[in-house]
Amino acid sequence: MSTQALTLETHDETVKDGIVLIDFWADWCGPCKQFGPVFEQASEKHEDITFTKVDTEDQQQLAARYGITSIPTLVAYRDGIPVFGQPGALPAPALEQLIDQVRALDMDQVKQQYAQALEQERAKQQAHAAQAHSAPGVRASTDPAAF
C-alpha cells in the first residue's frame, strides 16, 4: 500500500480503525524529503497499516489542530487513539521499531489510560471555566507571571 494524502475532511474517518501513521511535511523541508522515501518504503512493506501524509502548507488547519511547529513530525494512531507523536526524520530501523511497538500495545490498557486522561482534561477544563466565572475581573493566581 502506498501513502495517501490526509486532509481535515478525511482525518477522523481515516484514524478511527487500525494502525495509522501520519507524516506532517512540506515540500520546502529538507529533512522531510529525506524521510519521505523511508516512509514510502515502510508503506510498501506494511500493507496492513494506513500511511498518510499531511502537506502542512496545504492543510494548515489540520497542522494547527495538532500543534505542529516542527516538520517532519510523525504521529501514530491505533484504533482511533493517538499513541505516538514526535518531530524529526526517523531512519528506517527506528521507524520499523516504532511500528513493532505500536503493534505490540495492549489496547485494553491504552483505552483505559486514554479514557482516564480525557476525563482528567475535562475536569481540568470545567474547573478552569468555573474559576473564570466565579469572580469576574479578579485573577485567582498569585503568580506575577500569570498577569
Residues known to be catalytic: 29, 32
Q: Which three cell numbers stand for residue 54?
A: 499531511
Name the nearest CA neighbour of 14 among 100, 57, 64, 75.
Answer: 75
Handedness of CA 64, 66, 71, 77 (dihedral sign): negative
CB 43 within 8 A of CB 51: yes
Separation CA 4–CA 41 (nearest Å): 13
Q: Which three cell numbers stand for residue 71?
A: 516538520
